[in-house]
Amino acid sequence: MDIAIKTALISVSDKRGIVDFAKGLAQMGVKIISTGGTAKALTEAGVPVTNIDAVTGFPEMMDGRVKTLHPRIHGGLLALRDKPEHVEAMRQHGISPIDLVCVNLYPFEQTVAKPNCTLEEAIENIDIGGPSMIRSAAKNHKFVAVVTGPDQYPRVIEQMRGNNGAVTSRLREELARTAFGLTAGYDAAIAKYLNGQAGIEFPDRIALALTKEAALRYGENPHQTAALYRLPGSREPSVCSGKLLVGDTEISFNNLLDANAAFELVKEFDEPAAVVVKHLNPCGCAIDEDINVAYRKAYEGDVVSAFGGIIAVNRPVDGILARTIMESYSRFGKALGAEGFFAEVIVAPKYDEEAVQIIRTLKTWGSRVRLIETGPLDRARIDINEYDVRHIVGGLLLQKRDLVGWEPNVLTFPTKTRPAPEQLADLRIAWLVAKHAKSNTIVLAKNKKILGIGVGQMNRVESGQIAIRHAGDEAKGSAMASDAFFPFPDNVEQAAAAGVAAIVQPGGSKKDEEVIAAADKHGIAIVFTGKRHFLH
């Protein structure tokens, strides 16, 4: 059923496009009711407006807290116009129908995102009348259109102009669904903020309000559908908040998972760093004073696995770095046994125009690579209150993010041999990479470069065998990291046979004394972190 729009109520905080929208309505003979600042803006723009108090018979009061919460407003929104009793009630109480509500809400999320926002400011930016009108109109979408964002204005006007001033039931239903999602997300943001203010980590009820950013080609496999949703209010530089400079191929579910894994690892380093990820695990990572050298070292860590991988760097990509990446195979990989090279995604804080041009044109695969620009990295903007969410059938597991990195002040040195400064630097890199690799994890590093990684094995000894095999002769003098403690000395014996010089691990095993004794026997330095980094 089409509904002709004769009366509209407009009350918005975000005034983008509202004047043109209201003018479009007025040109079609729609009576416009409005409030406060919106009424003022429309009047100044020459749009005829009826003030809300002329409808309710009450002035706006209490600093604008009370203005639309009135039977003549909500009766006009909620009345079922095909029900005689409702029509009669409207007649008796002087209530006129309202056919369209255009409301967006006080900017609560933007307000609380400000560094110096006070609780009083946050409370004052909790909208009451807006959500009430939106919910009333959405509930009665059989007769009322509810418009909640500037992106909807053109479609509504276009349909009215082509439909004798009426809005179809299909569009009203769609607008209502969007409206209920908006109010649900708004309440979720308020609850999250208030729980945070009270220091409640895991409240009895949690609503995860997400905004759809993009439909994806498919999920992990082509028979699965997928979409990307974004948490509101997040200011942290991330793959999700980054700008996608799309290539010829759309980004996929797996691309985003891998890109996130790569970027979260490269964010651990203040110095120039590069990471290569394949199937959620790092296959290369390195740091250097020169980002181009850091990338080369990261790629050389595993040139076979790097094929079709995800690259992340924590410095802007200029023409030199772009060419270094694109020529990985011909300049470095061919001599190391690679069969070829291409990247699915590159993530960086910024790309200059020359870099984009080189990536797109230097190699045929460059037109397909997806570029994600995250903006400048700033560890001060990391959201310490964001949950790490895992799905199990029928529910979600929530935990706080693992934001523990390298903590020099809490390290202990239980062995007779202590690591040299350069070994300690390599232990740091190996430890941070182990944090971002699937358990069980063993990582070998030397000269600020990852040599080999063993991940995801059912026992730690096999993970060590994989890492040592990848490192080859370079394992001699290397630093080893384990994401969890050694339950037996066998890992140390294996490391000693490969020539490993130093090991970092959490400690805390019942057999720590045996592990330490084995290290002392072989002259290996052990460092205990006191923290575990399981990643399942």
> Which strand (E) or helix (H) includes residue 450?
strand 449-454
Single-letter residue type at 167: V
Give the Cα separation of 441 and 463 in Å (integer). 6
Give the Cα separation of 96 and 517 in Å (integer). 87
Tell me if 263 sits within 8 A of 373, measured CB to CB.
no
* Sign of the four-CA dihedral 389, 392, 393, 396: negative
Active site includes 139?
yes
Beta bridge partners of 526: 503
Tell me if 39 sits within 8 A of 49, measured CB to CB.
yes
Active site includes 435?
no
Phi, psi of 15 (to 5 degrees): -95, 15
Out of 23, 139, 142, 334, pick the active-site residue.
Answer: 139
Sequence-separated (6 or more) residues with CB below 8 Å from residue 357: none
Out of 6, 23, 142, 279, pick the active-site residue.
Answer: 279
DSSP of 349-399, one letter per residue?
Answer: S-B-HHHHHHHHHSSGGGGT-EEEE-----GGG--TTPEEEEEETTEEEEE
Smallest CA-to-CA distance from 226 within 197, 256, 268 is with: 256
Active site residues: 139, 279
